[in-house]
């Protein structure tokens, strides 16, 4: 690991998105890990005082642990860049690309990774064109079970699996509660996986895949953040060929989206061993039940060391740009 001196690190956690509680838990875990690694850490909850505070006190590095639009749509990241504050993670441009699930899927598909067939639907078009006519087209185009989700956001909020076509309208309306665009995808049956990518100078690699097996069959919000509701297998129960294929697909998606430092890429691997891209996470969860820490530990690495390496990479990047 790169040698470093203790740095003043601000962890950003909280915010006002639907995922505030998850972000606070992530921030606390990141702060504890970085403190263990020897850094001086302060946790700040973004509010009207945040930017003046950061501008005046200028910490060595910012580590965002924000989920939802407050941290992942690129807005805050662009402001931190404007302040020339070293920040862990991807650029604002990459965050904007990835925040939109339809856009991210198109980019990843163009890079050669399989993505589910889908329809992107705005709330305005749903109203203006008539729900009945719109859903008739969707049902004819996407045969079989579908997954309906907000076109941006995380933690499976607003996500529905629709097996009965008569329930599709309700699922779309539920997604619109979280975003004014919904993404309707064909459901790929297989093994659900999450791959963490570490991408810092001298180390670009995929950590062991985490296999996700929810007790009730659906990896929803409760299953993600309540211990005991999901069984995780790390490394995933894949043969060597499928494991290599999904690791390659994850690295391809990470690079195609222009992500940096750390990301989590979610897939389903079907019965033939083909990985299907679901979504990418610019700021993945770092809670006690999150998948990134599980993957790091399964690799034999130390969570504090990995987080510290991210801080060091951000700090060194800023020195190179001055």
Nearest CA to 268 out of 187, 177, 184, 166 is that of: 187
266 labeled binding residue: yes
Q: Is residue 226 annotated as involved in ligand binding?
A: no
**19 catalytic, yes or no?**
yes
Could you say which DSSP state residue 32 is in?
H
The string of DSSP letters for 110-128 reads: HTT-B---EEEEEHHHHHH
Q: Annotated catalytic, 290?
A: yes
Both structure tokens of 156:
């499976």
For residue 264, count other CB atoms closer than 10 A to its CB. 25
Is 21 annotated in a binding site? The answer is: no
Alpha-carbon Rg for the chain in angstroms: 20
SS (H, E, C) 272-297: CCCEEEEEEECCCCCCCCCHHHHHHH
Catalytic-residue membership of 75? no
What are 236's two structure tokens?
């995933």
* Choice among 100, 151, 290, 309 that is catalytic: 290
Choose, from 17, 100, 151, 155, the residue flagged as catalytic. 155
Annotated catalytic residues are 19, 155, 290
Binding site for Mg(2+), by residue number, is 266, 279, 281
Residues annotated in a binding site? 266, 279, 281
């Amino acid at each position: 690991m790169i040698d470093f001196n203790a740095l003043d690190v601000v962890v950003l956690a909280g915010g006002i998105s639907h995922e505030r509680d998850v972000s606070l838990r992530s921030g606390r875990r990141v702060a504890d890990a970085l403190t263990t690694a020897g850094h001086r850490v302060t946790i700040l909850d973004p509010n009207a005082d945040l930017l003046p505070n950061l501008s005046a006190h200028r910490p060595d590095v910012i580590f965002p642990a924000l989920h939802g639009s407050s941290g992942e749509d690129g807005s805050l990241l662009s402001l931190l860049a404007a302040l020339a504050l070293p920040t862990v993670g991807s650029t604002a441009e990459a965050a904007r690309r990835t925040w939109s699930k339809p856009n991210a899927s198109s980019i990843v598909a163009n890079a050669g990774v399989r993505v589910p067939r889908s329809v992107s639907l705005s709330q305005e078009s749903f109203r203006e064109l008539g729900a009945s006519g719109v859903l008739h087209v969707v049902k004819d185009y996407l045969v079989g079970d579908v997954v309906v989700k907000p076109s941006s956001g995380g933690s499976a909020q607003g996500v529905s699996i629709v097996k009965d076509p008569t329930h599709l309208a309700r699922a779309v309306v539920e997604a619109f509660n979280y975003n004014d665009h919904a993404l309707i995808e064909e459901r790929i049956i297989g093994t659900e996986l999450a791959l963490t990518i570490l991408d810092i100078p001298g180390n670009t690699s995929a950590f062991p895949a985490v296999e996700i097996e929810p007790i009730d069959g659906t990896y929803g919000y409760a299953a993600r953040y309540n211990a005991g509701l999901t069984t995780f297998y790390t490394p995933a129960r894949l043969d060597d060929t499928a494991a290599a294929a999904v690791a390659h697909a994850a690295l391809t998606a990470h690079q195609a989206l222009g992500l940096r430092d750390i990301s989590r890429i979610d897939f389903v691997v079907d019965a033939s061993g083909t990985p299907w891209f679901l979504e990418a996470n610019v700021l993945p969860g770092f809670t006690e039940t999150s998948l990134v820490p599980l993957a790091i530990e399964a690799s034999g690495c130390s969570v504090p060391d990995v987080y510290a390496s991210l801080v060091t990479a951000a700090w060194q990047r800023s020195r190179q740009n001055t």
